[in-house]
Structure 1
Amino acid sequence: MTAQTVAAPTAVPRVRFYDVYSADGTRLRAWSNDAEGPTVLLCNGLGTNPYAWPALLSPGCGVRVISWNHRGVGGSERPADRDRISMDDFVDDAIAVLDDAGVDSCVVMGWSMGVNVSFELATLHPERVEGLLAVAGVPGDTFSTMLGPFHVPAPVARTLTVGSAWAMLATGKALSVVTKRLPWNPVTTRLLRHSGFMLPAASDAVVREAVREFLTTDIDWYMRLAVHAARHPRVSLSHIEVPTTFVSGHWDVLAGARSMGTAAERMADARVVELRGSHFLPMEYPDEIHAELLGLLARTSHTSIE
């Protein structure tokens, strides 16, 4: 295992990156905030990076976060078999990060498609999961819940969004030429924050760094990840009994708040919080999500967390 500590961008502390190998031999770029406190595994949003989580990158956040960058993203290598990017592969990656850190079980949090990974992990390896925090994501069949604020019927939403992903996959190489040359300065950052896709509550500095990192990924590879993730069906919740918190965004067009609420209704110990935000809640409401994470830890065996 090799390790590297990099200087943090403005507004966020340092992050330690290191290499972990998944079950099929794929090298993953894992990372940790190296803070003191109970360990939490973060299953991040598809193609996203540590800098989207400013509240969890503070040394005093009270939680040790371990996570990884997805296959082919942010220093993680693409698998030898380019189709080894299914939800089962992502679960194997999560297990590899846990095993490398010497963690038998912990609270698992997910954002966006990372919610799919966290619930699949809880289904396949329930002994590794002590609690679940789902941020702006649903436990499977995600594309059917998209466009929620527009009240688009689920079959239509799935057809439109999956079709768009395939179209962007086909044009991804050309799009990457453009996106990698976009100037992420205060002007373009503010335009994104006021676009409606993301809301102004997010910090300029945090958004700029998170988006800059995101755009280092080739669009065609990102869309290849997305269309594979779209095949993940809804997870059965009947056997998931750990404390769970869902945090949804009222204006989220990528993971329906209503679907998160109905998922919580099918679980024995689930809490639902709806924030007046978009899909990018970790950047828009970092303190509120941090508080919900500490509250979830208090509902598990970590009763000393305040």
Structure 2
Amino acid sequence: MIQPALVRFHDVRSEDGTLLRAWGNGGSGPAVLLSNGLGTNPYAWPDLLQPDNGLQVVGWNHRGIGGSERPASGRIDMDAHLEDMVAVMDDAGMDSAVLIGWSIGVNVAFEFAVRYPERVTGILAICGVPGATFSTMLEPWKVPPLVAQTLMITLARISTVTGHGLAPVTSRIPWTRFSVNLLKMARVFGPSADDTVLRDVVQEFFTSHPAWYAQLALEAARHDRVSLSRITVPTALVAGTKDLLAGPEAMRSAAARIPNARYRVVDGTHFLPIERPDVVLEELERLLERV
């Protein structure tokens, strides 16, 4: 289990001047760049952030989240995320790296691989699809793609307004073992999630302003499908059977369009990095062997 105090944070300035809160494990070995889920934090990756795991792992917090600045220009589009990735890689001295994407971070990772192929040696996609993410949501409930996309975008738009009223409440929720277990009982997270890791992840997540998070989500919804014919590096996709935010069938379909891609589905929700860190590490090791 990773202790929050052991995560190494520092600031990196992106191309447009936005100051980002970057982080890493301080380790050495194969270069791994984490393109995280929207608004999430490094505490979701307990095994990958161990300093002695034989990997050099780095990532960053999205604009306006977890100590990263809100850009003066207001830019939170895909181009901005890609510029942030370049800045973090350059700061870490990584000429190229294996990319791990989670959720919306999968969109960013695949788009990065298309635009900067020389800097990507492999891709591990966890609970995410390469573009048009909102149309794949609610798949386990058999909701038609257009309906799911309309519903989720409408919810995000509402949250850009209601989030201002919610912020004073969400930022003060006491996240204890009891409140974390309520989330498990509600089946937001699977029962295998470690309580301590889950508490750290959720507690940090709710420091973000809900209205700003909704703006990030709306901008992410604009990202269309990536041309997978241009993905030539070793690739693996891992889906959760109960994932309501990136359906396993949509991920299987994406894997089928990438030459020699590995696809795996495991019992779990959208939060496999927290619920099944063992699977994430196993699939990363398999991918590194192929790389």
Query: Which TM class, normalised by the smaller chain length?
Result: over 0.9
Match of 2:137 in 1: 146
1:241 to 216, 227, 232: 232
What amino acid maps onto 1:90 in structure 2?
H
Displacement of 1:141 in angstroms is 0.5
1:78 to 70, 76, 93: 70
Answer yes or no: is the 8 Å Cα contact 2:34–2:59 preserved in 1. yes
Answer yes or no: is the 8 Å Cα contact 1:11–1:205 preserved in 2. no
Deviations 1:180-210 (A, max 9, x none): 1211011110011222221111010000001
DSSP 3-state at the match of 2:229 = coil
1:127 aligns with 2:134: no
Match of 1:35 in 2: 27
TM-score (norm 1): 0.93
Match of 1:16 in 2: 8
What amino acid maps onto 1:224 in structure 2?
Q
**Distance (Å, rounded) in 1 between the aligned partners of 2:264 and 2:29:** 24
| Aligned 1:32-181 pairs, distance under 5 A | 32-82=24-74, 84-181=75-172
**Distance (Å, rounded) in 2 between the aligned partners of 1:57 and 1:290:** 11
**Distance (Å, rounded) in 2 between the aligned partners of 1:62 and 1:103:** 16
Moved more, 58-67 or 288-297: 58-67
Deviations 1:133-188 (A, max 9, x none): 00000000000000011011100000011111111111111111211121101111
Match of 1:269 in 2: 260
**Distance (Å, rounded) in 2 between the aligned partners of 1:272 and 1:75:** 35
Deviations 1:63-110 (A, max 9, x none): 11110000001110000012x000111011001111111111111110
What amino acid maps onto 1:187 in structure 2?
F
**Distance (Å, rounded) in 2 between the aligned partners of 1:17 and 1:103:** 17
Match of 1:283 in 2: 274
DSSP 3-state at the match of 2:230 = coil
1:199 aligns with 2:190: yes
Answer yes or no: is the 8 Å Cα contact 1:13–1:59 preserved in 2. no
DSSP 3-state at the match of 2:47 = helix
For the aligned residue pairs, the C-alpha RMSD in angstroms reads 1.2
Answer yes or no: is the 8 Å Cα contact 2:2–2:50 preserved in 1. no
DSSP 3-state at the match of 1:56 = coil
Query: Structure 2, unaligned stretches of length 5 or more?
Result: none
**Distance (Å, rounded) in 1 between the aligned partners of 2:188 and 2:241:** 12
1:101 to 1:10, Cα distance in 2 relative to 1, 3 A: closer
1:249 to 1:24, Cα distance in 2 relative to 1, 3 A: same
1:184 to 175, 187, 190: 175
Match of 1:304 in 2: none
**Distance (Å, rounded) in 1 between the aligned partners of 2:213 and 2:5:** 27
**Distance (Å, rounded) in 2 between the aligned partners of 1:245 and 1:194:** 31
Task: Work out the number of aligned pairs and report it.
Answer: 291
What amino acid maps onto 2:227 in structure 1?
S
1:292 to 262, 270, 283: 283
What amino acid maps onto 1:37 in structure 2?
G
**Distance (Å, rounded) in 2 between the aligned partners of 1:198 and 1:157:** 21
**Distance (Å, rounded) in 2 between the aligned partners of 1:146 and 1:168:** 17
Answer yes or no: is the 8 Å Cα contact 2:2–2:49 preserved in 1. no
**Distance (Å, rounded) in 1 between the aligned partners of 2:248 and 2:135:** 12
Query: Structure 1, unaligned stretches of length 5 or more?
Result: 1-8, 301-306
DSSP 3-state at the match of 1:211 = helix
**Distance (Å, rounded) in 2 between the aligned partners of 1:131 and 1:121:** 11
Match of 1:6 in 2: none
